[in-house]
Amino acid sequence: MRTSPALAALAALPLLSGCLARTAVDVVTFPVRAAGEVVDVATTSQSERDEKRGRELREREQRLGKLERRYDDELADCRSGDAGACADARETWAEMKEIRASLPAPPPEPDD
């Protein structure tokens, strides 16, 4: 005996109702979730801004440290009579000055 397709669909309906209901909820809530994700991506939290600023400061401080070491070497060569090293030292000093201006002032020394 063959069952009709309509009867088979009717028999399967209770099994699919949860799936269909979930799909309907997903379809209805998708625009809200998508808008929320767009807002989250478009906005930056204060902690994320703080982390980015801290990372930028550390990178500048590392660059300044490298420049200071290079400046010391160039200055030693300059004092030995190397005119090219003197010119390099002046350029390095200018870059160091620029980076120092972009760094915040160091904290004050505690009074003993």
Kindly report, residue by residue over 31-55, the tens digit of the pLDDT. 767 767 766 666 778 888 899 999 9
Task: Please give the share of the chain, as a percent, with pLDDT higher than 90.
Answer: 45
Q: How far apart are CA 101 and CA 42, in angstroms?
A: 31
Task: Please give the share of the chain, as a percent, with pLDDT higher than 70.
Answer: 66
What pLDDT score was predicted for residue 4? 63
Q: How far apart are CA 15 and CA 59, in angstroms?
A: 59
Can you give the pTM of this predicted structure? 0.54
What pLDDT score was predicted for residue 89? 96
Summarize pLDDT for 69-99 with one digit per residue, the tens.
999 999 999 999 999 999 999 999 999 999 9
Most confident stretch, 12-26, 59-73, 95-109: 59-73
- Cβ-in-10-Å burial (0-12, 13-18, 19+) of 49 comes to exposed
Determine contact, residues 58/100, Cβ cutoff 8 Å.
Answer: no
